[in-house]
C-alpha cells in the first residue's frame, strides 16, 4: 500500500540519522530503521538516558513503508555485481550491503503477510502472549499472531510489535460545505447531492471498494464481491462524485477549495488540521479501515536484550502517550490522553469512539482470486 509520506511537525524525528551515545566499534549498539515521523526524537533520548549501560543508538528514518519493505527484500537477495542504483542508495547505514545490519524495522500490518511468506522477518521470541495482554484490545494480539504463511492463526507465533495505529477518515472543507447545510458523518454522505466532482478518493481498490462494502453493511475483507448485491451500481454512482483518485496528493486541492471532501489516512491528515482551520476530519460512524505500524526483526538477526527493551519502552503508558500526542496517531496501549494534551481538532480522532472502533477493521490478507476481483472492479468503475 502506497501510504504515508509524512508531513512532519517540529517534534518528530526529522534528522537523516539520529545518534545517541559515543562512538566506538566495541560499544553495544541498537540499530533501528523506522518510518519517518513515527517516533519522536525525545522518546529515543529518554530511552537512552534510562539505560543502565553505555549504548549507542542508531535510528534512521526512511520516507515510506514501501522502501522499508524493499530493504527487507534486498537483505535476503543474493549479492549482485552491479553497483547500487535507485532507491537503495538513499537507505541509511551501509550502502550496498546485502545482509541485514539492523535490529528492528518499522513495517505496516498490510505488509506483514508478504514479509512472513518471503521469510524476510523472524518471530519476536521475547514478545509472547502474556505481554500482549496489556494491550487495550485483544485484536492487536490477533493481528500479529500468524502462521508461517503469514495468515492469522491463534496457535501461531508473534511476528510484530504494534506501537501506533491510525484509520481511514473523511476530511472536508467546512467553508465549501457550509452552503449545503450539512457535514459528513458516515460513508453514505459521499453519495449526497451537491458534491458531484467534488470528492477525491484514495487510488486503492481495497480502500474504495471497502468503504462501499461498509456502506452496504459488509466487511472490508469480503472475499467474493460477486455475491454483494448492488456493489458495482453503488461504485458507479460514487465514481460520478469523484474528481480524481490519489493516494498522495489529495490534501492540496482540498486546502485550495478545488475539492470539498477527501478520503485519506489519518497519518497524512492529522498533522495539517491545526494549520488549516477550515479543514475538519471525521471517522465514519459505521466503521472504517485501520492500520498499524509494527516493529519487526529482519531474518538472520540475532535476538538481543536491547531491542526487547526498546519494544517494552514503546509500550509503557507514558511513552505510548508521547508517541500518540507528538506523532498525532493512536496507540494500542491505553494512554489517558487529556483534552489539554492535544489540539481540539484532533481530540475526536485520537480519542476513538469505542463503538466505532469495534466496527472498524484491519485490511487482512485475501486470496489471490479475491485480490484480482478487487483490482478488476476498481479498474472497471474508473473508466
Mean pLDDT, rounded, for 266-289: 92
168-289+361-382: same fold as 18-165+291-347?
yes
What is the Cα–Cα distance from 53 to 118, expressed in whole angstroms? 36
- Comparing CA positions, the residue from 309, 347, 354, 355 lying closest to residue 325 is 347
Each residue's pLDDT tens digit, 338-370: 666 666 666 667 766 788 888 999 999 999 999
- Comparing CA positions, the residue from 249, 276, 272, 273 lying closest to residue 262 is 249
Least confident of 84-98, 145-159, 264-278: 84-98
Q: What is the pLDDT of residue 340?
A: 64
CB of 121 closer than 8 Å to CB of 115: yes
What is the share, in percent, of the chain residues with pLDDT greater than 90? 64
Q: What is the pLDDT of residue 138?
A: 81
Contacts of 201 (CB under 8 A, 6+ apart): 207, 208, 238, 242, 245, 262, 263
Each residue's pLDDT tens digit, 217-227: 999 999 999 99
Each residue's pLDDT tens digit, 164-204: 999 999 999 998 998 898 999 999 999 999 999 999 999 99
CB of 144 closer than 8 Å to CB of 156: no
- 3-class secondary structure per residue, the chain: CCCCCCCCCCCECCCCCEEECCCCCCCEEEEEEEECCCCEHHHHHHHHHHCCCCEEEEEEEECCHHHHHHHHHHHHCCCCCCCCCHHHHHCCCCCCCCCCCCCEEEEEHHHHHHHHHCCCEECCCCCCHHHHCCCCCCHHHHHHEECCCCCECCCCEECCEEEEEEEEEEEEEHHHHHHHCCCCCCHHHHHCCCCCCCEEECCCHHHHHHHHHHHCCCCCCCCCHHHCCCHHHHHHHHHHHEEEECCCCCHHHHHHCCCCEEEEEHHHHHHHHCCCCCEEEECCCCCCEEEEEEEEEECCCCCCHHHHHHHHHHCCHHHHHHHHHHHCCECCCCCCCCHHHCCHHHHHHHCCCHHHHHHCEECCCCCHHHHHHHHHHHHHHHC
Q: What is the pLDDT of residue 303?
A: 78
Mean pLDDT, rounded, for 255-259: 93
Fold of 18-165+291-347: D-Maltodextrin-Binding Protein; domain 2 (3.40.190)
pTM (2 d.p.): 0.84
Q: What is the pLDDT of residue 274?
A: 84
CB atoms near residue 362 (< 10 Å): 20
Each residue's pLDDT tens digit, 15-51: 445 555 555 556 789 999 999 999 999 999 999 999 9
Q: What is the pLDDT of residue 11?
A: 38
Each residue's pLDDT tens digit, 285-323: 999 999 999 999 999 998 788 999 999 999 999 999 899
Q: What is the pLDDT of residue 331?
A: 87
CB of 352 closer than 8 Å to CB of 324: no
What is the Cα–Cα distance from 263 to 147, expressed in whole angstroms? 33
Phi, psi of 360 (to 5 degrees): -85, 165
CB of 128 closer than 8 Å to CB of 171: no
168-289+361-382: which CATH architecture?
Answer: 3-Layer(aba) Sandwich (3.40)
CB of 326 closer than 8 Å to CB of 40: yes
Q: What is the mean pLDDT of the chain?
A: 85
For the chain, the structural domain boundaries read: 18-165+291-347, 168-289+361-382
Q: Is the pLDDT of residue 111 over 70?
A: yes
Phi, psi of 32 (to 5 degrees): -135, 130
In 249-263, which positions are buried (b, 16+ CB within 10 angstroms) versus exposed (e)?
Answer: ebbebbeeeebbbbb
Please work out, in degrees rounded to the nearest 5, the angle formed at the alpha carbon of residue 108 by the alpha carbons of 150 and 345.
Answer: 140
Q: Is the pLDDT of residue 95 over 50?
A: no
14 or 79, which is more confident? 79
Amino acid at each position: 500500500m502506497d501510504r504515508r509520506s509524512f508531513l512532519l511537525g517540529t517534534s518528530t524525528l526529522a534528522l537523516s540519522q539520529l545518534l545517541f551515545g559515543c562512538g566506538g566499534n566495541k560499544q553495544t549498539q541498537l540499530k533501528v530503521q523506522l518510518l519517518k515521523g513515527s517516533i519522536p526524537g525525545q522518546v529515543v533520548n529518554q530511552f537512552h538516558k534510562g539505560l543502565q549501560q553505555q549504548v549507542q543508538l542508531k535510528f534512521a528514518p526512511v520516507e515510506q513503508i514501501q522502501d522499508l519493505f524493499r530493504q527487507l527484500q534486498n537483505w535476503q537477495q543474493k549479492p549482485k555485481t552491479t553497483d547500487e542504483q535507485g532507491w537503495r542508495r538513499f537507505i541509511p547505514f551501509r550502502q550496498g550491503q546485502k545482509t541485514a545490519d539492523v535490529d528492528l524495522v518499522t513495517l505496516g500490518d498490510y505488509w506483514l503477510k508478504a514479509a512472513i511468506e518471503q521469510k524476510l522477518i523472524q518471530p519476536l521470541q521475547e514478545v509472547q502472549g502474556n505481554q500482549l495482554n496489556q494491550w487495550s484490545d485483544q485484536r492487536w494480539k490477533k493481528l500479529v499472531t500468524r502462521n508461517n504463511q503469514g495468515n492469522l492463526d491463534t496457535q501461531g507465533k508473534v511476528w510484530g510489535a504494534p506501537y501506533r495505529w491510525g484509520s481511514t477518515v473523511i476530511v472536508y472543507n467546512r467553508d465549501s460545505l457550509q452552503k449545503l447545510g450539512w457535514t459528513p458523518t458516515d460513508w453514505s454522505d459521499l453519495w449526497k447531492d451537491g458534491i458531484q466532482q467534488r470528492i477525491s478518493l484514495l487510488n486503492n481498490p481495497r480502500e474504495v471498494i471497502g468503504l462501499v462494502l461498509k456502506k452496504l453493511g459488509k466487511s472490508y475483507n469480503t472475499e467474493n464481491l460477486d455475491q454483494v448485491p448492488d456493489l458495482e451500481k453503488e461504485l458507479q454512482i460514487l465514481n460520478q462524485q469523484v474528481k480524481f483518485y490519489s493516494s498522495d496528493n489529495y490534501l492540496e486541492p482540498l486546502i485550495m477549495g478545488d475539492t470539498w471532501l477527501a478520503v485519506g489516512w489519518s497519518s497524512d491528515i492529522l498533522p495539517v488540521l491545526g494549520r488549516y482551520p477550515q479543514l475538519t476530519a471525521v471517522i465514519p460512524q459505521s466503521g472504517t479501515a485501520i492500520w498499524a505500524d509494527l516493529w519487526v526483526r529482519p531474518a538472520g538477526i540475532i535476538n538481543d536484550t536491547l531491542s526487547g527493551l526498546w519494544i517494552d519502552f514503546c509500550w509503557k503508558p507514558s511513552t505510548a502517550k508521547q508517541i500518540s500526542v507528538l506523532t498525532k496517531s493512536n496507540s494500542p496501549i491505553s494512554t489517558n490522553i487529556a483534552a489539554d494534551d492535544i489540539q481540539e481538532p484532533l481530540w475526536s480522532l485520537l480519542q476513538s469512539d469505542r463503538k466505532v472502533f469495534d466496527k472498524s477493521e484491519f485490511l487482512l490478507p485475501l486470496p489471490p482470486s479475491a485480490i484480482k476481483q478487487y483490482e478488476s472492479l476498481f479498474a472497471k468503475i474508473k473508466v
